[in-house]
């Protein structure tokens, strides 16, 4: 299993682009249900705040490129942008780098204001939305076994 994270944030995209991508909880859940197909994109969650939109997903190592392409297409479509519009704004991390990035985000080390207290809650909420949408099963099992 491989992990891929793709997104935009305050460092890579102007506020006008980030505003078009901002998704509420319902839009995240609906989008995840469309995006996660159980084959290429096996699991996923979306972190959507005023300063970032990131999709974290699980795929197989063989499908990491097609998975990344699907995530990028999803973001273009979610913002009603032409295909490939976001390519110059997107960043991508895989496997260990994706997990490291998520921890930097959750701990607010990758924020406009380092130490911002609400970021961890936003990541936790993204996970809850994904669980409720049925797109984060493996993570649920891992969390349950860690208790």
Structure tokens at 71: 């995530």
From 50, 112, 141, 143, the catalytic residue: 50
Active site residue 50: yes
End-to-end CA distance of the chain: 23
Pairing relationship of beta strands 52-59 and 2-9 according to DSSP bridges: antiparallel
Residue that has been written with the tokens 């704004």 in this structure: 89
Q: Which residues pair with 91 in a beta bridge?
A: 7
Rounded to an integer, what distance in angstroms lies between the CA atom of residue 128 and that of residue 121? 10
Q: Active-site positions? A: 50
């Amino acid at each position: 299993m491989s992990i891929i994270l793709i997104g935009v944030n305050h460092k890579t995209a102007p506020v006008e682009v980030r505003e078009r991508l901002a998704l509420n909880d319902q839009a995240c859940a609906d989008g995840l249900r469309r995006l996660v197909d159980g084959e290429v994109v096996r699991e996923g969650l979306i972190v959507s705040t005023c300063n970032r939109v990131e999709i974290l997903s699980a795929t197989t190592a063989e499908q990491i490129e097609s998975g990344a392409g699907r995530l990028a297409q999803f973001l273009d479509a979610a913002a009603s942008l032409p295909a490939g519009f976001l390519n110059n704004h997107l960043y991508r991390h895989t496997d260990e780098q994706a997990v490291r990035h998520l921890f930097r985000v959750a701990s607010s080390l990758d924020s406009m204001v380092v130490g911002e207290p609400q970021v961890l809650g936003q990541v936790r909420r993204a996970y809850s939305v994904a669980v409720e949408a049925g797109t984060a099963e493996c993570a649920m099992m891992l969390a349950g076994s860690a208790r």
